[in-house]
Structure 1
């Protein structure tokens, strides 16, 4: 499932949220409890090997979770009492424990697809999906600034390490000798620069506490972004962006590959970094923002706006971040596999069928070598 590039080799496991879990497991480090409808688990698939990665979340994939859950009948029954209008689905991502409100239109008992909202890098238009990310920070380390510093020197380069919706490292494009507005195909030809950025990424990941050593750093997080000032440049469509159309320019890498647009979680983290005085991102912002209260980010396919809201008492802590996306079903099918282990045999997992635990969360914890015993204990305390 997927294609030959890291940004397209992805799976989301979607299931109704087990409400008993809210009283037994506290995953949202920010303390924002709320009634939840859906759990979803993001899985990244290796493109050159058989690796299955559950280290972080994918914001763009989260766009499809609410409409998919609605169409698949996974939501509470009261949601389906209305067959038209606006619906909000409350989602938990099991990889990070973070919460998302997905708001979209339904028409005739199905999530709306047709609309006039367009996104740079996405063909055509669609119905708007509003995503409100709650407390979009500390997804991996529990801190906005994992190293405790706004600026760090890593592998000889000045960087800002920010743990937002996903952890990210920001470095000035000019410091590593790369054109900040470079396009992916040209970037792929710079193997030495890509190797340098991967070394910086791994060293920074250790400094952030994400991995104990560089050889254990996950392949997809943290991501690394090259930041430069807003400038007139071409994007992948062949069109030219003017410098006044953006507040800054960012080029992100994932799994050593340049992104053709910008990962949504990386955009959220960029917006958070832009609100923290002294970070590399904040230093390179345009003096006059394109839109008040929003950060307009230039990427290889165009631009994207994120509206971050910071805590009034502590301006370095984000309370929420809002973005708008689209999604539509492309096809429906079945995937078959061969499992050589019998369910329930010694050494294998026994999930059961009637519990209120999250199977996706169990999958994430097992991949991280953590216990899942608390997920399979019923309300009376029996395993």
Structure 2
């Protein structure tokens, strides 16, 4: 609510961890009716642009500078509508392109907490319509006595401790850009990268559009940790260059050199390699036989500390596309109901249901498990 005398918005907010991300969850009714004001409000609320976000609720990195905006849905196939906002840490940019699967895992609990949907007995299914991608997500939330159950014995790599599992099923996830699973029509495309030459990539669109490249083709191993990547300006520049060229190929921008400003969130770039033993950020060893591939994602021009859930969903879909970069590097004995992605924090398990039609599979759904936690509720004081 805006106090016209003081120029302050007082916005009820809930801070939640969703998967390996943390964000601010807001009811859409608590934001200005004029959507053109949303960017300014969210930037000020999160403390951007500032690399430390010292004067806001953001945590100084992309995975802690996210916002979920939720409202009751008028759709017959959904309970709530959810809009994801990626607030840039160091730029005055809010991106509504694409979704965040980790933040999605907190939407169901938030909707129950706010009374948008009534909790059932042991499990409550929340049908979530994501406005960014025009896709439906079904979240299964553990509940008891009308309340969300956060405590449990399920753990995910990249998050300390254990909690109750949240199952996320992305229904018919392909084609968030309206161009199908293979938006270029090809399982593999060739990009001409200045200073490097031609490299093969796969541009796959499921849950979010991703561009995949083999680590070896860009001088990497796939075992790099986020600090290694973020400390190498040449690698960062090369990855953003490839991502920008893919964005041009998708028709999102005209000049690849402007990708970080004009389409910073999608497509996300991911470099992959065949299964191999590596050390996680925590110093633990991930055995070669325990994973189906190693993969490293970028988020807002920095290395993701773990793995985006929508990235996992897209990776699962890419794994069953014959000849794709992901399909090429995956272990030959891969179980498509239990695809194991080796990322900097550990292992993420996900799956895909599909029908094979000629060379392009029909993706019925992708799924995985996350956890969520309600950290605090309060009122954000935002000067406007």
TM-score by length of 1: 0.80
Tell me the SS of whatever aligns to 2:86: strand
- The separation in 2 between residues aligned to 1:145 and 1:186, in whole angstroms, is 31
Tell me the SS of whatever aligns to 1:251: strand
Count of residues in correspondence between the two structures: 319
- The separation in 1 between residues aligned to 2:199 and 2:379, in whole angstroms, is 47
Computing the radius of gyration from Cα coordinates, the structure with the larger value is 1
Alignment of 1:137-156 (within 5 A): 137-154=174-191, 155=193, 156=198
Match of 1:30 in 2: none
1:78-113 CA distance string (max 9 Å, x none): x35x4x311111110011111011111111221111
| Change in CA separation of 1:99 and 1:292 when aligned onto 2, cut-off 3 Å | closer
Tell me the SS of whatever aligns to 2:221: coil
- The separation in 2 between residues aligned to 1:35 and 1:279, in whole angstroms, is 33
CA RMSD of aligned residues (A): 1.4
- C-alpha contact (below 8 Å) 2:79/2:126 kept by paired residues: yes
- C-alpha contact (below 8 Å) 2:215/2:272 kept by paired residues: yes
- The separation in 2 between residues aligned to 1:267 and 1:292, in whole angstroms, is 13
Which of 299, 305, 310 is the aligned partner of 1:260?
305
Which of 265, 275, 297 is the aligned partner of 2:341?
297
Shift of 1:305: 1.2
- The separation in 2 between residues aligned to 1:269 and 1:17, in whole angstroms, is 26
Match of 2:253 in 1: 211
Shift of 1:311: 2.6
In terms of fraction of residues, the more strand-rich structure is 2
- C-alpha contact (below 8 Å) 1:146/1:209 kept by paired residues: no
- C-alpha contact (below 8 Å) 1:44/1:54 kept by paired residues: yes
Match of 2:31 in 1: none
- 1:328 matched to 2:365? The reply is no
- The separation in 1 between residues aligned to 2:351 and 2:315, in whole angstroms, is 11
Match of 1:74 in 2: 116
- The separation in 2 between residues aligned to 1:86 and 1:144, in whole angstroms, is 32
Match of 2:147 in 1: 110
- The separation in 2 between residues aligned to 1:57 and 1:5, in whole angstroms, is 17
Alignment of 1:319-358 (within 5 A): 319-339=364-384
Tell me the SS of whatever aligns to 2:376: coil
Alignment of 1:95-106 (within 5 A): 95-106=132-143
Match of 1:136 in 2: 173
- C-alpha contact (below 8 Å) 2:88/2:300 kept by paired residues: no
- The separation in 2 between residues aligned to 1:72 and 1:94, in whole angstroms, is 20
Match of 2:94 in 1: 52
- Give 5+ residue unaligned stretches, structure 2: 1-56
1:12-50 CA distance string (max 9 Å, x none): 00111124xxxxxxxxxxxxxx52100011011111122
- The separation in 1 between residues aligned to 2:336 and 2:302, in whole angstroms, is 32
Tell me the SS of whatever aligns to 2:85: strand
- Give 5+ residue unaligned stretches, structure 1: 20-33, 340-383
| Change in CA separation of 1:320 and 1:54 when aligned onto 2, cut-off 3 Å | same
- The separation in 2 between residues aligned to 1:337 and 1:241, in whole angstroms, is 44
Alignment of 1:362-377 (within 5 A): none
